[in-house]
Amino acid sequence: MTDTSYTIVELLGDGISAELSQSVHRIAESLPFRLSFVPVDLSDEARCKGGTDCYDEAVALMLEHGTSIKYPTATTRESPNKVLRDRCKFAVIHRPVSTIPGIENNFTKSIDIDVVRIATGGTYEDAGRRVGPDTAVSLRVISKGPCKHASRFAFRLAMLRGKGVVSTSKWTIQKETDGLFEEVAARVAKDYPTIPYRKELFDALLAGLIMNPDRYGVIVTPNEYGDFLSDTACGLIGSIGLGDSASYAFDDDGQITTAMFDPAGGTAPDIAGQDLANPTAALLAMANMLRHLGEVKAADALKASLLAALADGEKTRDIGGTLGTKAFTETVAKRLESQLASA
C-alpha cells in the first residue's frame, strides 16, 4: 500500500445504508491507497433528534474535504438530497447508465449513455399553490449559470468518452425557460468544435433512445427531464437499483469544488439487515468517486471486477443470483485484488 490517503465524508442513511457502507469499506481494504472515512449520521432518527445540526455538520465537512459518498436516506419531513443539493450548491448531477452483461432485462438492445442533469430549477423548486378551488399554479425557473456548468461538464465528459452530446428539452413549448437552456448549450458547444452536437425534443429523444440507443452518448438536460430520463434508462438495463449518481458544485471558472457520489436506489427497509441488499450501484458510485480522485487505474479495476462478477453469474438474489450482500462484495474484492496485482 502507498502512503497516499484521501479523506472521504461518508453520509450514512436509512434501511440498507449500513450494509452498503460495509461493502464500500470492504472494497476500500483492497485498494493500494488509503480511504479515510469521516462518518456523519443522516438517518431519519438522527434528523429527528438533531434537527438541522446533522446537516450543518455534514455540509461543513463536505465543503472542507470536497469529496463524499452518500447512502440512501428516507424522505420524511424533507428530502435530505435536496437539502444537501441546496446547501452545497450542487449544479450538476451525472448519472451514467449502461447495459450490464449477466443482468436480465426486457430491452433487446444495448445502451451506454451519460445523463448530465441540471441539479436545480425546473419544476422542482416550487411546490406550487392553489388559486381558488379548481386551479393550481407553480413557478418554473431556469438559470444561465447551472445551464453553463451542465453543458461544460457534458462536453468535457464527451471528450473523455469519445462520444457526442445531445441537449434535450421541450423548447418549442417552454420557449423561454427551455429556450434559455438550449441557447446556453449551443453557445458552449461552439467551444468544443470537434465534439458532435445536436439538440432533440425530449419526447422524441425518449422514443429515439429505445429504438436507436447507439445514437446517444452524453445527454444534457434540465432538472426534471434528467430525472425522468435516468430512471427510464435504468429501467432499460434491468433495475433502478443498478444506477449510480454524482453531484457537483463548481467555482466561477467551472472547476469542481465539491463532489458527492451515491447509489441512485432507495432505502429498501423491507430487506434491511438481512444480507439481501445489492451493492452494485454503491460500488459503481465508489468507482466513479475513485476516478474523480484521480485514481483512474483503481476505478477501472473496480468497475471491471464488478462487471466480470455479474457476467459470470456471481450476483445477488434480486437480479437472479444466489449470493448475499457480503458474499457478493467479497467476490468483487478478491477479483479487484487479483486485477490490481497483475496490473
Which residues form the catalytic set?
A: 124, 170, 203, 227, 231
- Sign of the CA dihedral 129, 131, 133, 137? negative
Nearby residues of 265 by Cβ (< 8 Å), 6 or more positions away:
72, 239, 240, 241, 243, 281
For residue 121, report the phi and psi dihedrals to the nearest 5 degrees: 75, -155
Cβ atoms of residues 2 and 260 within 8 Å: no
Torsion, CA 115, CA 118, CA 119, CA 125, rounded to 10? -130
Q: Amino acid identity of 263?
A: P
Strand, helix or coil for residue 268: coil
Nearby residues of 148 by Cβ (< 8 Å), 6 or more positions away:
184, 188, 254
Residue 292: exposed, middle, or buried by beta-carbon count in 10 A (0-12, 13-18, 19+)? Answer: middle
Distance separating alpha carbons of residues 332 and 256, to the nearest angstrom: 30
Q: Which three cell numbers stand for residue 234?
A: 435504468
Strand partners, 40: 11
Distance separating alpha carbons of residues 288 and 334, to the nearest angstrom: 19
Nearby residues of 261 by Cβ (< 8 Å), 6 or more positions away:
67, 68, 69, 70, 244, 245, 246, 285, 286, 288, 289, 292
